[in-house]
Amino acid sequence: MGIVTKPSKRPGMSKHTVDGAAAAAQYYLDLYAYSLSSVTKRELVALADPDCIFCASVAKDVDERRKNGTHEVGGTMAYKDVVARKTTPTSYFVTLTARQSPSRTLDDSDRVVEDFPRTTDNDVSMVLHWVDDRWITRAVTIANSRPA
């Protein structure tokens, strides 16, 4: 379990297609784990609609971690059952299961503040919009989180 490295953009996510929406959704969730680990939110916020409640809560969590001197290790995700569908000419609804690896919250001295020892499967729904030739995350909902 270590610091999460900055993810690379996923192949196909630069396209305004169903596959592009699916790739963008996974990339956003990759950035979620990276942001909590690196305590930086720039890349995550760049993909977030200002009205996205989940996105704003993650950005606030990153700010609080920076202020408190904590960060995450572990928590990376793998995806299955990814389904994207077009709902309007520029909007897509994506559902997937994100398998999140165990993680820990550490302080600046690398002491464990909180431990999340289980791998979990999280049922995620997302709304993405294609705006100005790029993806924007409009909404994220985690409907169910269970031990994997």
Residue 1's pLDDT band (boundaries 50, 70, 90)?
confident
Please give the full DSSP string across the chain, using - where no structure is assigned. --PPPPPPPPTTTTSSSHHHHHHHHHHHHHHHHHHHHHT--HHHHHTB-TT-HHHHHHHHHHHHHHHHTEEEEE--EEEEEEEEEEEETTEEEEEEEEEEPPEEEEETT--EEEEE-S-EEEEEEEEEEEETTEEEEEEEEEEEEEE-
- First-to-last alpha carbon distance for the chain, in angstroms, is 17
The pLDDT of residue 3 is: 84
Over residues 5-22, the pLDDT tens digits come to 999 999 999 999 999 999
Cα-based distances in Å from 7 to 4, 38, 53, 72: 8, 12, 23, 15
Structure tokens of 44? 């995550």
Over residues 131-140, the pLDDT tens digits come to 999 999 999 9
Phi and psi angles of residue 21, each rounded to the nearest 5 degrees, phi first: -65, -40
Over residues 40-52, the pLDDT tens digits come to 999 999 999 999 9
pTM assigned to the model = 0.95
Over residues 78-105, the pLDDT tens digits come to 999 999 999 999 999 999 999 999 999 9
